[in-house]
Structure 1
Amino acid sequence: MSDARQYFKLPSPFAMKRGGALHGAHVAYETWGTLNAARDNAVLILTGLSPSAHAAANAQDPSPGWWEEMLGPGKAIDTRRWFVICVNSLGSDKGSTCPASTDPATGEPYRLSFPDLSLEDVANAAHGVVTHLGIDSLACLIGCSMGGMSALAYMLLHPGSVCAHISVDTAPQAQPFAIAIRSLQREAIRLDPHWNEGRYDAEHYPDIGMSIARKLGVITYRSAMEWNGRFARIRLEAEQREEQPFGFEFQVESYLEGHARRFVRTFDPNSYLYLSRASDWFDIAEYGHGNVMEGLKRIRIEQAMVIGVSTDILFPLEQQEQIAEGLEAAGAKVEFVALDSPQGHDAFLVDIENYSRAIGGFLAQL
């Protein structure tokens, strides 16, 4: 049994961590598998910045999901055993209330009048979905990338609501390198004249800003090792090169351009800005008197698996080690998995074989 996109109406008003509130807001979610009579076989997935709730194909929407090879009957997250929920982040334009949504108070899109967004708000909205489905405690909470930070917030804000946790390529707080990259991405969007203080439309759209932001992202999602292996210094054929001065000459430039072009109009620029800044703001040290380890020690779960990749420059391996140590200090039985995937931060979307082995093995023994 699986359902395509569904919507959960958040309580109105829905108070936001940094002030302000949303009225008549909702989040989109999808489910796979069947909730058992005891309601104790639920697995919640919280996503990275840009994915939708469509993690895998289902009867109503057979298109492949962003984690297609990981989720389904007989796969690592086996939907014959688990009732799986994936929630689209509050603030994302993939079905949830976001800056592009209509503000009921004005009848116009929120744009920059959308309240400041935090990952705690994302976590609280996802918890609302789980409660709405009649689930008191999740068998497992899985958080990937930005979703891993949202997952840490979820467990802190809702103690006793999670039994086990799988932390995938994430961090207890953003490091200066990650903040710097996201700051540049936001600057590229804001400096595009078509951004117009958030008041763009289909005719006047910050395509160039979004394109540069995406290229910066893709560069940091992969590792130098992979760039060298895939592209080396291979040049484009003469007919593929741009005629203008300083135009694209190398294959890697053309690859980034293709990536950016596919992304640009698929994600609302203001939503991108809000979620990006929410990622920078998240800091588990806030819950531990300024200390990351003390913040992590407040999380009460039974077991966890923390997965990281040695080639991840955005969420480096030492941050995964920190999460593992903190959860262990809090009393959880923790398994730490350090993978050598060459794909960098994006490995969890690409190196399915190694991630499947780890995640499937952990879930099988719950």
Structure 2
Amino acid sequence: MAEFIPPGTRWIDLPAQFPMRRGGTLRGARMAYETWGTPAPGGGNTVLILTGMSPDAHAAANPGNPERGWWEPMLGHGAPIDTDRWHVVCVNTLGSCKGSTGPASINPATGEPYRLDFPELSIEDCADAAAHVVRELGIGKLACVVGNSMGGMVALSLLARRPGIARTHLNISGAARALSWTIAIRSLQREAIRLDPHFANGRYDDGHYPESGMRMARKLGVITYRSALEWHGRFGRVRLDADRMDDEPFGMEFEVESYLEAHARRFVRSFDPNCYLYLSRSMDWFDLGDHCAERPGAASDAHTLAGLESIRVEKALAIGAETDILFPVEQQRAIAEGLAAGGAQARLLSMPSPQGHDAFLVDYARFGPAVRGFLDSI
């Protein structure tokens, strides 16, 4: 069990008792965040960034931590999210192991990590925790909520649950609900972790750690983060040199296998497995239509559309990659159309990027101008 907290992280305490949507209460919990730029009175120039599943709050270098952030080219002086104009807040999601309270955190009731005693986590809980950060920072109304991937889900939930919290919304490779395809993939990832003999019902330690399960889960994830076009263009059928091949039967033989293995090994010990399980499942459960349905999990297509129509923002942009198989561009189209039906000036921008779901993290030549153009227009 470990938390991986970057230098320069700041915290805001959640209420002494923070109720969770599916039952249970967190006590003594906190949220990690970082900031850039200078806030205007009331926070009218504040942009809130809500992240995907695994990033921390360190989106870019700042005085508290000069290291390169996970979204470095997008944020800073003269960048698409220009910190000379915007005050930017990036929040590490509730349930993470990167500073905010999650399964790897200490349970004050026992003095031990929560592990699987952490309450069931929902996207709505992540949204409520982010809303608390905004309120505690004294921000009356955000200029924009930016949500990437899972953060796009959290952003929609935040806007639905806290009417008036933001003027505009930028949804990047997000979704209003999980699709069966993504549920299937994430289910396999969780199964790989749970069935690792070292998982031990969540009670692993550094010496007995579900490394194989985490490696397989990460490999499955990475495969879906990029497109078939990207994989073929980068690796084709290039084989490993003889001295790099595995000696064991059916071992690694192709360059793409070596890439996946190296990528997975870098990730394995940098993210807590229990946190991975909780955050992964929260995405599967999410359907914005639950805000309109009689009970959670009973939302129909009509409920999901009604959930989007209920959101009140002045302007919105949904950006997606045409090669994204994890959060297909049809989901961003649904967001744009639903928000427009609710009265927003909303549109879809579909990018012909070959990098799939990860395009917003690597294809800055396309995504950078799109983000800059939207923010310049608000």
Into which bin does the TM-score normalised by the smaller protein fall? over 0.9
Q: Aligned to 2:358, which of 341, 346, 359?
A: 346
TM-superposed CA distance for 1:335, in Å, is: 2.5
* Cα distance between partner residues in 2 of 1:274 and 1:104: 19
Cα deviation code 1:277-329 (max 9, x no counterpart): 00100101112333211111110110001001110000001111100000000
Which residue in 2 is equivalent to 1:255?
A: 259
Alignment partner, residue 203 of structure 2: 199
* SS at structure 2 position matched to 1:69: helix
State the partner residue of 1:320: 332
Question: Does the Cα contact within 8 Å between 1:111 and 1:270 map onto a contact in 2?
Answer: yes
Question: Is the contact made by 2:44 and 2:142 (CA closer than 8 Å) also made in structure 1?
Answer: yes
Shift of 1:180: 0.3
Quote the residue 1:124 is aligned against.
128
Distance apart, 1:39 and its partner CA: 2.5
> Is 1:281 matched up with 2:285?
yes
1:23 and 1:88 map into 2 onto residues whose CA distance is: 18
How far does the alpha carbon of each residue in 1:185-242 deviate from its partner, in whole angstroms, 9 at most, with x for none?
A: 0000000000000000000000000000000000000000000100010000000101
Aligned partners of 1:296 and 1:323 also within 8 Å? yes
**1:38 to 1:121, Cα distance in 2 relative to 1, 3 A:** closer
Corresponding residue of 1:140: 144
Q: How far 1:38 moved relative to its partner?
A: 4.6
Give the counterpart of 1:292 among 278, 300, 304: 304
Q: Which amino acid aligns with 1:320?
A: Q
After TM superposition, give the deviation of residue 37 of structure 1 in Å. 2.6
The percentage of counterpart residues that share the same residue type is 60
Match of 2:336, SS?
A: helix
Quote the Cα distance in structure 2 between the aligned partners of 1:214 and 1:39. Answer: 38
**Which residue of the other structure, out of 57, 62, 73, is the alignment partner of 2:66?**
62
Is the 2:42–2:141 Cα contact (8 Å) retained in structure 1?
no
Q: TM-score, normalised on structure 2?
A: 0.95
d(CA) in 2 for partners of 1:262 and 1:35?
A: 36
SS at match of 1:197: helix
Q: CA deviation at 1:268?
A: 0.4
Partners of 2:235 and 2:104 lie apart in 1 by 37
1:153 corresponds to 2:157: yes
Partner of 1:140, secondary structure, is strand
- Deviation at residue 60 of structure 1 after TM alignment: 1.9
Amino acid in structure 2 at the alignment position of 1:71: L
**Matching residue's letter, 1:360:** R
Q: Aligned partners of 1:159 and 1:280: how far apart in 2?
A: 24
Structure 2 counterpart of 1:173, one-letter code: R
Residue 168 of structure 1: CA displacement? 0.3
Letter of the structure 1 residue corresponding to residue 348 of structure 2: F
1:364 corresponds in structure 2 to: 376
What is the CA–CA distance in structure 2 between the aligned matches of 1:357 and 1:93, rounded to whole Å? 32
The aligned runs of 1:10-159 (5 Å cut-off) are: 10-159=14-163
Query: SS of 1:278's equivalent?
Result: helix
Q: Which runs of 5+ in 2 are unaligned?
A: 1-6, 294-298
Q: Is the 8 A contact 1:29 1:88 kept in 2?
A: yes
Q: Distance in 2 between matches of 1:136 and 1:186?
A: 39
Per-residue Cα deviation, 1:12-67 (whole angstroms, up to 9, x for no partner): 10000000000000010000000013520000000000000000001121110000
AA aligned to 2:312 is R
Q: Which residue in the other structure is 2:3 paired with?
A: none
Deviations 1:57-94 (A, max 9, x none): 01121110000000001000000000000000000000
Q: 1:178 aligns with which of 172, 178, 182?
A: 182
Equivalent of 1:188 in 188, 192, 211? 192
Which of 220, 230, 234 pairs up with 2:234? 230
Contact 2:42 2:139 survives alignment (8 Å): no
1:214 corresponds to:
218
Q: Which runs of 4+ in 1 moved over 4 A?
A: none
What amino acid is the match of 1:304? A
Q: Is the 8 A contact 1:10 1:128 kept in 2?
A: yes
Q: Is the 8 A contact 2:340 2:347 kept in 1?
A: no
Q: Secondary structure at the match of 1:353?
A: helix
Task: Give the conservation status (yes or no) of the 8 Å contact 1:35–1:42.
Answer: yes
Which of residues 241, 247, 250 is equivalent to 1:243?
Answer: 247
* Structure 1 CA distance for aligned equivalents of residues 42 and 172 of structure 2: 28
* TM, length-normalised to structure 1: 0.98
Does residue 323 of structure 2 align to residue 311 of structure 1? yes
Contact between 1:47 and 1:145, CA under 8 Å: does it hold in 2? yes
User: 1:4, CA displacement in angstroms?
Assistant: 3.0
Contact persistence 2:337–2:347 (CA under 8 A) = no
Q: Secondary structure at the match of 1:4?
A: coil
Secondary structure at 2:250's aligned position in 1? coil
